[in-house]
Structure 1
């Protein structure tokens, strides 16, 4: 059985998660990737690290509405945030950096182990939600009628 999370519960999960799954599309292909993020109570912020041939960056150009999912298993709950992903406007980078520093889970995994650091680009992006939903799931307990 699922119950809706309150806005306060949604905000708490977003503040405590630090990592989620970003889903992008080009209209015919879906692409989902784990991403660290920061949340300031209104907007999700990302610091994307990419190379010139990045599939993620190509699909950002073709995705009008991205989906971002965070979840926890104890208790079982999830939040789905939808909206456009856009570059953080010049001058707003400190706000993005602060949100990321406060609650992002920064991976220690290097996804480009054979690429020299000077071939990476790092840029701030944000997802300003157009829709946010959250659910908590309770375990199914069979009753005598279910057996």
Structure 2
């Protein structure tokens, strides 16, 4: 059995999680990747680190509506955020950096161990939500009538 999360409950999950699975598409193929993010109560922010031939950036350019799924097991709940992903304008980069610093789960894994810093780029992107939905999964409890 599931119950829907309120807007406030969804905001809490997004503010406390800091990492989710970002789903993109090129119109034919789907591409899902774990991503850390910041959330300022309105917009989700990402700092993407990538090489020139990045599959993630190629898919970002062809995805009209991205989906970010954030979930937790205790309690069992999930939030799905949908919307376009766009570069953060230079004037808003401080806002993006602040949101990321406040709640993103920064990975300690070097995703490009064989790459020197001058071979990668780091850019801010944002996802202004067009939809945010959430559910909590309630444990099924057995009664004597169920046995």
| Shorter-normalised TM range | over 0.9
What are structure 2's unaligned runs of at least 5 residues? none
Partner of 1:66 in structure 2? 66
Partner of 1:95 in structure 2? 95
Q: How far, CA to CA, are the matches of 1:146 and 1:59 in structure 2?
A: 48
Partner of 2:5 in structure 1? 5
- Alignment pair present for 1:113 and 2:113: yes
Partner of 1:139 in structure 2? 139
Report how many aligned residue pairs link the two structures.
Answer: 147
Deviation at 1:63, TM superposition (A): 0.4
Deviation at 1:145, TM superposition (A): 4.1
SS of 2:61 mapped into structure 1 = helix
Deviation at 1:142, TM superposition (A): 2.8
Q: How far, CA to CA, are the matches of 1:58 and 1:114 in structure 2?
A: 21
Q: Deviations over 1:65-107 (max 9, x none)?
A: 0000111111000000000000001211000000000000000
Partner of 1:20 in structure 2? 20
What are structure 1's unaligned runs of at least 5 residues? none
Deviation at 1:144, TM superposition (A): 3.8
Q: Which runs of 4+ in 1 moved over 2 A?
A: 142-147
Give the TM-score normalised by the residue count of structure 1. Answer: 0.97
Q: How far, CA to CA, are the matches of 2:70 and 2:144 in structure 1?
A: 35
Give the TM-score normalised by the residue count of structure 2. Answer: 0.97
